[in-house]
Structure formats: C-alpha cells, structure tokens
Structure 1
Amino acid sequence: MILIGQYDSPFVRRVAVALRLYGMPYEHRPWSVFGDAEEIARYNPLRRVPTLVLDDGEALVESSAILDWLDEQAGPERALIAPSGPQRRATLKVCALATGMGDKAVSLIYEQVVHGRGTPAWVERCRTQIAGVLDALEASRGEGTWWFGERPTHADIAVGCVLRFIGEALPGVFDPARWPRLAAHGAACEAHPDFAAVVQPFHVTPPKG
C-alpha cells in the first residue's frame, strides 16, 4: 500500500497511526497538495490527501473511508472501533467532532496564509466552533488513558492528531488550563510509539500565482 500525504495533516496522520496500530506495512509518499498536486491527481482527482493506493492499484480517498476499509481488513476483533451498538456510535461521534474541528482549523489557516486575509466574522465563527467542540470533548472525556477502554480507538487517534495540529498551526487557540483532560489525552497520544513514529512539524507553503 502507498499512503499519500504529509504527516502534518491530521487526516493523513490518523490513517498512518491506524496503519501502524494494525501492523499493516505501507510506503509513504509525503506529497504536498500544492507542490505535488499533479502527482496526487494521478490517484485522486480531488488532489486531496490522504489517498491510500492499494496493492491492486485501487485508490481510496477521504480518511474515514480509508479507515473503514482498514477496519474491514483487520476484522471485528482487532478493529479500532466497536462493530455495532452504542460504543460504535459514540466513537463515530467523537471522530466526527474531532475531524470537523480539524476542518475548521484548516479553514482558518487557508484564510490567513493562503488567502492572505483574516475576515473577522469568519475567523470568529471558526474559533467559536473550535472552542465549542473542545468544550464538548472535554466534558465527554473520562479519566482513563484511552477514551473507550484499555486500548486506543479511532476516537483517540482523531482527537490526538487534531489537537497536535491545532497546537502547532494555530498557537494560542488551545488552552491546556481550560481543557486539561484533552491536554492529558494529547500528551498520552504523543507518548505512544505509533503516534511518535509519524510526526512532521507543521508547515504550509501557499500556492504560487
């Protein structure tokens, strides 16, 4: 398999962490959506990451769809999410909140770095949405090392990857004193070897032209 995309993307990183937790080997191509758009387009017409190219040449796109396929390959006993029921729904809700928060963080970065502006109403809306999600996740986070038991799930991965991304890409947005459980969660994720193995400092290069 080939995983396309840079690890400073929380969406690429969540796939990479899952691959490592599953013990599934892959080749990594750290292509940029700006600098390597034409290369990415060979596999994904949206020119977006992550893209996972399977051994038979099929390309899977969008992190949730990729993870769904990985879960299927791992089987229900090893999958990083319950096969059905309340815990599955709870895990999917945490993932949806975390990835939605990641989307809002990316919107802020594009607004400020790519578009070279900071429309006050849009910036305030995105920051309010991010803070609202952080409040909700903080309230739902228990005291254990992981969200739903003794081992990490997709919920843990999604939250951990997005927290690191926000901390690096939007300094000052995440306040550990306001969200201490999430701060502890992020630290636990970064201390895990499968998270630590797929780290890239955040950097964005605006497109030319």
Structure 2
Amino acid sequence: MQLIGMLDSPFVRRVAISFDLQDIPFEHKALSVFRNFDEFSAINPTVKAPTLVLDDGSFLIDSTLMLEYGDALAGNSLLPTAPAARARALRAIGPALAACEKTAQIVYEYSLRPQEKQHQPWLDRVQQQLFAALRLLEAETDAFDIAALDQAAVTAAVTWSFVQLNVAQIVKPDDFPRLAAWTARAEALPVFQRYPLV
C-alpha cells in the first residue's frame, strides 16, 4: 500500500503513525496537493490528502476511513472496544479533527486568498471554533496513556503539533497546558519521530 500526502498534514500523519503502531506495512509517498497537483491527480482525481492506494490499485479517501480499513487489516483497533471507553476516545477525536479543519481554514484564508478579499468576521468565527475545539480536546487529555497509545491519543498529539506549526501566533501553549504537555511526550516517542511533522 501507498500512503500519499505530506506529513505536515495531521490527517496523513495520524494514518502513518497508526499503521506503524499496528504493524501494517505501507510506503509513504510525499506528494503535495499544491506543488504536485498533476502527479497527485493522476493517482486520485480529487487530489485529497491523504490518499491510500491499496494493493489492487484502488484507493481510499479520508483518514478515518483509512484507519477503519487498517483495523480490519491488523485484526485489532486503536479504538477501545468497551462502549464507555470508545465514547471517551471519540469525544477526543471529534474536536481534534475539528481543530485540524479550522486550522487549515485559517491557513488557507491567509495564504491563498488575496488580502483585500480576506473576511475578518469569517476569520473571527473560525478562530472561535478552533479555540472551542481545543478546549474540548484539552478536557479529554488526562485520559491518554503514553504506554498504551490509542487513536485519541495519537490524533490529539498530531493535532496540537499541526496547530502549533501553523497558527502558533494565535494559539499559545499556556492556553492548553495539558494538551501541550501530552504532545511533547508523544512527539518524543520513536513512532512519532519516524513520521516527522517537518
């Protein structure tokens, strides 16, 4: 299998780290949806990262669906099976993914839209949503276990690293100290270092 996309995407990175934790073999192909648009579109015409090219040549889109497929391949899941524990994990994953989406919206607004067309009320709204998502994620952080990484713990760490890479001028570690501390511990692990953010 090939995982297509850049590791500065939290969606690509969460799949890479998860597959590694599950001992699922894959090749990472670093293609940018911007710089490598034509090459990427030849693989997946929607040019969406991540793209997971399966051994039969077909492909999957969306990191959550890739992780579901990975669970089937591995015969185990990084999500807990007990309903209460799974609900706890999903309560963290949901806001983490929302924070990634809102961070990307802010980045695109500043980097792709001409300054005269940027809409401050929209940016204010997206920033408010980002902070709300991070507050929800911060509240779930104490449940993470460095010795037994689950999908919530992985996604939370890649989310915070992505946020800090892109909007550190807006989101400060002091505002989310538990999430920042958790991410520092996770990023020190070999499995995270094998798939560096930059």
Q: TM-score range by the shorter chain?
A: over 0.9
Find the counterpart in structure 1 of residue 12 from structure 2.
12
Q: Residues 106-162 of structure 1: CA distance to partner in whole angstroms, max 9, x if unpaired?
A: 00010000113342111111111111111122223216544xxx4111111111111
Find the counterpart in structure 1 of residue 174 from structure 2.
177
1:49 counterpart = 2:49: yes
Q: Distance in 2 between matches of 1:157 and 1:144?
A: 9
Find the counterpart in structure 1 of residue 184 from structure 2.
187
Correspondence for 1:163 among 160, 168, 180:
160
Displacement of 1:170: 1.0
Which consecutive unaligned segments of at least 5 residues does structure 2 have? Answer: none
Report the number of matched residues.
196
1:115 counterpart = 2:130: no
Tell me the amino acid that sits aligned with residue 120 of structure 2: P
CA contact (8 A) 2:24 2:74 kept: no
CA contact (8 A) 1:145 1:188 kept: no
Q: Distance in 2 between matches of 1:116 and 1:96?
A: 31
Question: After TM superposition, which residue ranges in structure 1, 4 or more long, deviate above 4 angstroms?
Answer: none
Displacement of 1:85: 1.1
Displacement of 1:43: 3.0
Look up the SS of the partner of 1:70 in the other structure. helix
Query: Once superposed, what is the RMSD of the aligned Cα atoms?
Result: 1.6
Look up the SS of the partner of 1:35 in the other structure. coil
The structure-2 alpha-carbon separation of the partners of 1:200 and 1:177, relative to structure 1 and needing over 3 Å to count, comes to closer
CA contact (8 A) 2:33 2:49 kept: yes
Find the counterpart in structure 1 of residue 104 from structure 2.
106
Q: Distance in 2 between matches of 1:34 and 1:152?
A: 32
Which consecutive unaligned segments of at least 5 residues does structure 1 have? Answer: 202-209
Between 162-171 and 83-92, report the one with greater CA deviation: 83-92
Tell me the amino acid that sits aligned with residue 55 of structure 2: D
**Identical columns (%):** 33
The structure in which a higher percent of residues are helix is 2
Look up the SS of the partner of 1:52 in the other structure. strand
CA contact (8 A) 1:138 1:182 kept: yes
